[in-house]
Amino acid sequence: MRNDRLLLASSRLADARLHTVNRRTVPAVAVLAALVAVLVLAFVTGALAWYAAAWALFAVALAALRGVPSPVAGRLVLAGGLAAVATGLLAPPATSTDSFRYAWDGRVQSAGLSPYDRPPSDPALAGLRDGWLFPGCAEGRFYPLPDGGCTRINRPTVHTIYPPLAEAYFWLVDRLSPRDARHKPFQVGGALAATATSAVLLAAARRRGRERLAACWAWCPAVPMEAVNNAHVDALAVAAVALALALPLAPRSRPPGVPGPGAAGGLFRGLVRGVVLGAGIAVKLSPAVVLPALLAGRLSDSRRRHRLGPGLAAVGAALAVVGAAYLPYVLLSHGSVLGYLPGYAAEEGYADAAARGRYALLRLVLPDAWAPPAALAVLAAVWVRVLLRGDPERPWRGALEVSGAAFLVLTPGYSWYALLVVALVALDGRVEWLGVAAASAAAYLTGAGTTAYAVAAAAVAAGMWLRRPRDPLTPPRGPVTPPPPRDDAPRTGHAAPPRDAAPAP
C-alpha cells in the first residue's frame, strides 16, 4: 500500500512538472517559430520591414525563454539557432558585397599570387576574371573599373584590407569549392562558424546553469543576416574570441588537500587563451579591442591572488600569433600587407569626425575636432576601470564593457562589427548591450544611426543603474553593519546555530 502511494505521488509530481514545462515552453516555441518565419520572409522578399520585425520578435523570444526550465531551454536554444542560421542560406547576400572580395582574394591566392600586391582592377589580373565577379555593366548596378568594365567587388581600385588568417580562409574556401559555386561556399562557412559559436556559448552557459544566455547569440537576427547571408568573415573571428574567453582559466574544484597546478598551469592556460584570441585578431583586427579584458582586475590590490603572469602570457601569445600569421605574407608580398587599412580608416571618418557619422554621440555635446581625443579618453577610462576593477574569473564582462563602449563612442556604420558584442552578451548576460547591435543595424540600413545609438546608450545606462546593487564590481557604500543578534544567540558576537541543526562532531 505504501509503495502504491509513493508511485501515485511520483506520478502526480511528474504530471505537474510536465504541465509546468508545457505551459512555459509552448509560448516560447510559438514566438521562436514566428521569429524564424519572419526571417524567412526577410531574406526571400528582401524587405527591411521584415528584418526590423525580426528584431522585435527576438526581444519577445528572449523574454518568453526566461520561464522555460534549463534543460528544455538548452535544447530549444540549439534548435532555434540552427533554424535561424538556415534562413540566411535562402538568398544571395542581401545588404553587403564583401563576400565578392573574399572570393576574389581566394582566387588570386589559388593562382599563386599575393592578394596584397594588386587590386582587382589591375590589368595584370585580367586572366582571373569571370562573368560572375566581372559582369557586363548593363546587367545591373555594379562598381566601375578604370578600363570601362564593371565588377561586383567594392572598392576595386584598392588593395585588400583583410588580415592574414582571413586571407588563408578565403584561399581554403576557394580550393574546396566547385568552380561555379559563387557566393554559397562562404555562406556555408559563415553558417558553420555561427553554429560553432552557438555551441561554445551554450557549453559555457551550461557550466553556469544559464543555458538561456546562449539564445542572445543563437536567435539574434544579426547572426543569420551578417554571419550567414552576407557571409562576413567576422563570424570566424567572433567564434575564436568566444572560445578564448569561455575557456576556464581556473582549475576545477579539487578535494581538500589536493594541490592545484600552480603557476605553471596558470601560465599554460593563459597561453592557450592568448593563442586562440590571437587567431581571431588575425582574422579581423577589431577583436583586438578586448585585449585589456585578459588583464581584468589584475592591477587591483584586493585581487593579488590573481597573478599578472597568466594575463600577460595571454596578451603576449595573442600578439605573437598575429605577428606569426602576417610573416608569410610579408615575405611573399611586394606591397604592404596592411593593404587599404589606413585609407579605410580615413574614408570612414575616424580621422576627420565631420566626414562621416563617426563619434555621433560625442559630437552632440562637443565640437567635431574634440570628438576623436574625447573618444580616446573615454576608451582609456574604460580600459583602466577593467584593469583595476574587472573580474579575472569573468573576462568576458570586461570585454563586453570595452567593446560596447567602443561602439558607443565611435558609432561605426557597419552592422556586422557588432557580432562581437552579441557574442559577449551571450557570455555575460547583460542583455541591454544588445541595443548596440540593433543600433549598428539601424546606422547601416537607415539614416537614424545617431538616434539609434543614443537610445542604445540610454538603455545601457539604465541597465547599469538597475544592476548596480547586484554588480559584484560595485563596492558597498559606507561600512557594512552586521544584523543584530537573535534573541536566542549568545552575546559573544556569533549567531546561535539553528534549532534543528545537528551538533558539531
Tens of pLDDT, residue by residue over 414-428, are 999 999 999 999 999
pLDDT at 264: 62
Res. 101: pLDDT tops 60: yes
Res. 199: pLDDT tops 90: yes
For residue 407, the 8-state DSSP code is H
Please give the Cα distance from 482 to 134 (Å, whole number).
75
Q: How far is CA 301 from the centre of its chain?
A: 31
Please give the Cα distance from 297 to 317 (Å, whole number).
19
- What's the whole-number mean pLDDT along residues 177-197? 95
CB 144 within 8 A of CB 202: no
pLDDT at 311: 85
CB 403 within 8 A of CB 289: yes
Res. 151: pLDDT tops 50: yes
Residue with cell 579605410: 344
Higher model confidence: residue 308 or residue 90? Answer: 90
Higher model confidence: residue 491 or residue 405? Answer: 405
- What's the whole-number mean pLDDT along residues 433-452? 94
- What's the whole-number mean pLDDT along residues 246-271? 61
Residue 19 pLDDT level (bands cut at 50, 70, 90): very low
Residue 201 pLDDT level (bands cut at 50, 70, 90): very high
Res. 45: pLDDT tops 90: yes
- What's the whole-number mean pLDDT along residues 98-123? 96
Q: If residue 471 lies in a helix (H) or strand (E), which one and from where to where?
A: none
Q: If residue 52 lies in a helix (H) or strand (E), which one and from where to where?
A: helix 48-65
Residue 191 CB: number of other CB atoms within 10 A? 22
Residue 338 pLDDT level (bands cut at 50, 70, 90): confident
Q: If residue 423 lies in a helix (H) or strand (E), which one and from where to where?
A: helix 419-428
pLDDT at 352: 75
pLDDT at 268: 85
Q: How many helices (H) and strands (E) does the chain have?
A: 18, 2
Residue 496 pLDDT level (bands cut at 50, 70, 90): very low
Res. 447: pLDDT tops 90: no
CB 51 within 8 A of CB 220: no
Within 333-394, residue ranges assigned H as helices are 341-347, 360-363, 371-389
Please give the Cα distance from 448 to 442 (Å, whole number).
6
Higher model confidence: residue 299 or residue 253? Answer: 299
Please give the Cα distance from 5 to 11 (Å, whole number).
10
Give the CA distances from residue 100 to residues 47, 186, 261, 383, 485, in Å, rounded to whole numbers and listed in that order. 22, 9, 48, 36, 71
Of all residues in the chain, what percent carry a pLDDT higher than 70?
A: 83
Higher model confidence: residue 312 or residue 495? Answer: 312
Res. 55: pLDDT tops 70: yes
Radius of gyration of the chain (CA): 26
- What's the whole-number mean pLDDT along residues 465-489? 53
Residue 468 pLDDT level (bands cut at 50, 70, 90): confident
Q: Which cell goes with 19?
A: 504541465
Res. 505: pLDDT tops 70: no
Res. 5: pLDDT tops 70: no
Please give the Cα distance from 358 to 371 (Å, whole number).
9
Position 384, amino acid: V
Whole-number average pLDDT of the chain: 85
pLDDT at 71: 85
Q: How far is CA 345 from the centre of its chain?
A: 22
Res. 252: pLDDT tops 50: no
Please give the Cα distance from 294 to 70 (Å, whole number).
30
pLDDT at 267: 82
Beta bridge partners of 150: 144
Beta bridge partners of 144: 150
Q: Which cell goes with 106?
A: 581566394
Res. 409: pLDDT tops 70: yes
pLDDT at 351: 76
Within 255-335, residue ranges assigned H as helices are 262-281, 308-332
Which of 97-101, 347-351, 413-417, 431-435 has the least mean pLDDT? 347-351
Res. 112: pLDDT tops 90: yes
Question: What does 90-158 look like in DSSP terms, one character per residue?
Answer: SSS-SS--HHHHHHHHHHHHHTT--TTT--TT-GGGGGG--TTTS--GGGS--EE-TTS-EESSSSTTS
Which of 368-382, 443-457, 480-494 has the least mean pLDDT? 480-494
Residue with cell 535562402: 90
Res. 501: pLDDT tops 70: no
- What's the whole-number mean pLDDT along residues 195-213? 93
Higher model confidence: residue 191 or residue 477? Answer: 191
Q: Which residues contact 166 (CB under 8 A, 6 or more apart)?
A: 233, 236, 237, 282, 283, 284
Top mean-pLDDT range of 9-23, 130-144, 352-366: 130-144
pLDDT at 259: 45
Which of 16-25, 130-139, 184-193 has the least mean pLDDT? 16-25
For residue 370, the 8-state DSSP code is G
Q: Which cell goes with 371?
A: 570628438
Of all residues in the chain, what percent carry a pLDDT higher than 90?
A: 66
CB 193 within 8 A of CB 284: no
DSSP 3-state of 340:
coil
Start-to-end CA span in the chain (Å): 39
pLDDT at 8: 44
